[in-house]
Amino acid sequence: MPSSFTDPAQREQENEARLCVIGLGNPGKRYASTRHNIGFMVIDRLADALGVRESSFYRNYSFAETRHQGRRVILCKPETYMNLSGEAVSLLLAKQRLNLSEILVVYDEIQLPLGQLRLRKRGSDGGHNGLSSIIENLGSERFPRLRCGVDFSSQGVDLAEYVLSPFQKEELPLAADMIERAA
């Protein structure tokens, strides 16, 4: 359909400033409080801060929409499990007609000390399977990401076991502070 026949409200919505924050994690209660779910935790905290009370589900991701400071904000959690996050993210971008510059991916980073945040415009996957899946599915490393440090200095502990474990009691205040700052 020619643009002259496009509904003005639809044209305005497509041109408005927007941001989609995508938190990586694994669905289900079993993983809810694990280090690998820090992205989901940030999305939950951000939803609370923005007053978002309900979310919807579309094929392989849950999402909620709101407005903040004149901008449309979409909060998203891929429901594909971490290693297949790219499938949900690519579907989300197509469905919402989002550009790579309009997303922010939030995820756990074992190479950063617990509590440290690092924001980047783009970059490699750094060995993170969820990020690798996104890069593969989008065909690009050129999207913003927020890395949330969960540390991995434990000797003799399996990496998968470590990231799928909850924070220790003494780590909880630092983790909670990091989630708050990230949101």
Active site residues: 36
Locate the DSSP E strands across 49-165: 56-58, 61-68, 71-78, 103-109, 117-120, 145-149
Q: How far is CA 71 from the centre of its chain?
A: 18
CA distances from 25 to 6, 40, 77, 82 (A): 38, 6, 7, 5
CA 34 to chain centre: 15
Residues 6+ apart with CB under 8 A from 165: 34, 35
Q: In the numeric block, which tokens belong to residue 1?
A: 């359909």
Q: How far apart are CA 111 and CA 5, in angstroms?
A: 52
The two structure tokens encoding residue 110? 């074992």
Q: Where are the alpha helices (DSSP H) in 51-171?
A: 85-96, 129-138, 159-163
- Structure-block tokens of residue 137: 């599915």
